[in-house]
């Protein structure tokens, strides 16, 4: 076991994250995927519009298109000279007439306003071939009202999506609105995932009542696999590796051959059965280890051949928090994403935290009906219920106590779980 006096000091989180991101040089190839399959991917090439959106002036209401100058006062009566539906094109508007128009239909040349149908009254339906229907306009129009101008959303030549942008539903809709059938994105990172620990048992292999003494179910495998997939990764689940040096070296060596990242859970601390750290050093390099955060101190990064190694602690909350705080931004930057840091908000604490740690803490909390934050009672790194009960993390600086009414930095899970 390593003498504690000989260990290097714990790295501050900001320094560790900066060093980690410096290693995450975007080097993934790109590929073209259909727009409908690009959700969550990182755009590798800017998207420029070849057309105006909307492509023409169109009506934002069902109603009547007209010249505002033809309506001197409310109550004016004019004939309906044409009918224009969405998807059709009208003809130039005759002076002294109106056009029946529907939402999304192009505004005819000569019209400068649309009056919604609720402000109009039909007087006749036009019985003869030469007789036009008559409409009474009960509101004086203002030029430009209820007209969506060509290009008011997107102008031809606009960069509508930037390289490094992570794509979501709105971005996909915008791409489709300018006629994009496919998008150039970064290839999905290939991630090998495995856990270490002789105490781990897979759910379904042993019934709860038959669990051996000291055994626990492997929960980390499931939430880590889910988190990786949400990050757009292709995951190779390598299961559980025994607490044996040779088995650990073999698993790491094989994983490095065909993956961009190796992500492990457990075995990166300083115990006699923690084999990950020396195994990585035997095969490659260990660039950083042990971060001044709670939970999650025994986090590690290294390289084995061309593959990045990321080692998470075995305690489930420690593994969960370090993934969100360190692994998530690393994977985003590896894909060339521009924004890798989650947005934080300032919120009011409705609790007391009287015994802060000397490390930077990530406390599980949730918003209450009064707009403040409540704290989960048990902040132990093994209590995964805190992450289910909570809806975010309080980012608390080292040594800082919290009293009711204090303002704290809060990271909603909605910022880091997608």
Report, as an integer, the average pLDDT of 269-276: 63
Q: What pLDDT is stored for residue 128 in this prediction?
A: 53
Q: Which residue segments constitute the domains of the chain, with CATH numbers given?
A: 4-28+188-334 (3.40.980.10), 36-52+152-186 (3.90.105.10), 58-148 (2.170.190.11), 345-416 (2.40.340.10)
Per-residue pLDDT band for 4 (boundaries 50, 70, 90) equals low
SS3 189: coil
Q: Is the pLDDT of residue 404 over 90?
A: yes
Residue 354 and residue 376 in contact, taking contact as beta carbons nearer than 8 Å: no
Question: What angle, rounded to 10 degrees, do the helices at 276-283 and 245-257 form?
Answer: 50
Cβ within 8 Å of residue 9, ≥6 positions away: none
Interatomic CA distance for residues 366 and 376, integer angstroms: 8
Residue 167 and residue 41 in contact, taking contact as beta carbons nearer than 8 Å: yes
Pure H helices in 338-383: none
Cβ within 8 Å of residue 35, ≥6 positions away: 172, 175, 176, 180, 181, 182, 183
Pure H helices in 335-389: 385-389
Predicted confidence (pLDDT) per residue in 191-224, tens digit: 999 998 888 889 999 999 999 998 999 999 999 9
Predicted confidence (pLDDT) per residue in 327-381, tens digit: 999 999 999 999 999 999 999 999 999 999 999 999 999 999 999 999 999 999 9
Interatomic CA distance for residues 80 and 62, integer angstroms: 14
Interatomic CA distance for residues 150 and 218, integer angstroms: 57
Q: What percent of the chain has pLDDT over 70?
A: 95
Strand partners, 192: 236, 262
Q: What pLDDT is stored for residue 277 in this prediction?
A: 87
Q: Is the pLDDT of residue 5 over 60?
A: no
Residue 319 and residue 224 in contact, taking contact as beta carbons nearer than 8 Å: yes
């Amino acid at each position: 076991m390593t003498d504690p006096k000989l260990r290097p000091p714990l790295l501050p989180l900001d320094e560790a994250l900066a060093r980690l991101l410096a290693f995450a040089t975007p080097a993934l190839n790109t590929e073209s995927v259909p727009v409908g399959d690009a959700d969550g991917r990182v755009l590798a090439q800017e998207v420029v519009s070849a057309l105006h959106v909307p492509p023409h002036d169109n009506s934002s209401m069902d109603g009547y298109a007209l010249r505002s100058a033809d309506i001197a006062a409310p109550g004016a009566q004019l004939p309906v000279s044409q009918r224009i539906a969405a998807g059709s094109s009208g003809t130039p508007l005759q002076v002294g007439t109106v056009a029946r128009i529907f939402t999304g239909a192009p505004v005819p040349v000569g019209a400068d306003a649309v009056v919604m149908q609720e402000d109009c009254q039909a007087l006749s339906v036009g019985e003869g071939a030469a007789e036009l229907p008559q409409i009474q306009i009960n509101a004086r129009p203002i030029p430009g009202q209820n007209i969506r101008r060509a290009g008011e959303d997107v102008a031809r030549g606009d960069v509508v999506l930037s390289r490094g942008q992570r794509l979501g539903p709105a971005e996909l809709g915008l791409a489709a609105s300018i006629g994009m059938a496919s998008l150039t994105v970064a290839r999905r990172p290939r991630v090998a995932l495995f856990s270490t620990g002789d105490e781990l048992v897979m759910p379904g292999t042993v019934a709860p009542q038959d669990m051996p003494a000291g055994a626990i179910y492997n929960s980390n495998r499931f939430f880590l696999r889910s988190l990786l997939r949400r990050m757009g990764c292709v995951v190779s689940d390598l299961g559980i590796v025994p607490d044996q040096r040779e088995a650990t070296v073999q698993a790491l060596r094989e994983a490095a051959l065909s993956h961009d990242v190796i992500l492990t859970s457990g075995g990166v601390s300083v115990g006699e059965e923690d084999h990950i750290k020396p195994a990585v050093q035997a095969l490659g390099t260990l660039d950083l280890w042990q971060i001044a955060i709670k939970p999650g101190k025994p986090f590690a990064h290294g390289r084995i051949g061309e593959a990045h190694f990321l080692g998470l602690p075995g305690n489930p909350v420690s593994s969960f928090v370090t993934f969100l705080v360190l692994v998530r931004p690393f994977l985003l930057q590896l894909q060339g994403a521009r924004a890798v840091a989650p947005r934080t908000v300032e919120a009011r604490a409705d609790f007391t935290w009287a015994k802060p740690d000397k490390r930077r803490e990530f406390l599980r909390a949730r918003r209450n009906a009064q707009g403040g934050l409540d704290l989960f009672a048990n902040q132990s790194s093994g209590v995964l219920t805190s992450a289910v009960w909570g809806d975010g993390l309080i980012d608390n600086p080292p040594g800082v106590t919290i009293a009711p009414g204090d303002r704290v930095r809060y990271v909603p899970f909605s910022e880091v779980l997608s």
